[in-house]
Structure 1
Amino acid sequence: MEGPELPVLLVNEVDGVLGVLETHLPFLKKHFHLITMKEFLENKGHFSTKVKAIYVWWHKPIIDRELLENLPNLKVIASSGVGMDHLDLKLISGYGVRMANAPHAVCNSTADIGMALLLTAARRLVEASMV
């Protein structure tokens, strides 16, 4: 007996330079049927009403008016990262689409690097290493 059909998740590509990491695939495939932008563009008629979510990785795919108009059943866009400056939130919410991101994903790492840079500058470590 087959379970219910999984919702379709649009991603830019799988693996590659701007693709979703291979390590993320088992989790994503457990909950979604993944399609790439290439697959979507090649068969818009078939996929446009099926896509329920978009996973933005490295600011791709670009979310613009044309894409949103082609996805009438889109419910959520999840951005993999902290900021959402790369997204037009007014435009997206105008289509009734919700947004999600990981706002605290790199807080500790950012603080660590900030402190390391402050200490490096205060102790003039770069200059000392050149002597």
Structure 2
Amino acid sequence: MAMEDSMEDRLIPGISLAATPSGTGCLECLSGDGPGWWLHLRRCAQCGHIGCCDSSPSQHASAHSRTAGHPVMKSFEPREDWFYEQTTKKFFRGPRLPDPQSRPPEQPSPSPADKVPADWREHLHR
């Protein structure tokens, strides 16, 4: 069901103060797209989609940004609160989004543990 943006949601283009995270792991990796594991997680600031970072094998967060036209993402890692704007390639501080703010601290990185290969470092994008 589509919700209309409130006035507050429209104050910063690409950021919705109402969008909750889609989960605690990369949506596509957990659905079987790609090798199924990630290094770090990113959250779409507009819709809450959780995807894997650009160092991860599948780079689902950036793919989501391109295909959905949602240019702003936020780190979904514990103790990180930066935002990144894909079109300008700039980092910035932004508003607090709905909880949770990150993956669970006890969730390892890389993750999920049963999918991460022993040579995982060899599969990262640099």
Under a length normalisation based on structure 2, what TM-score does the superposition of the two structures give? 0.25
Q: Which has the larger radius of gyration?
A: 1
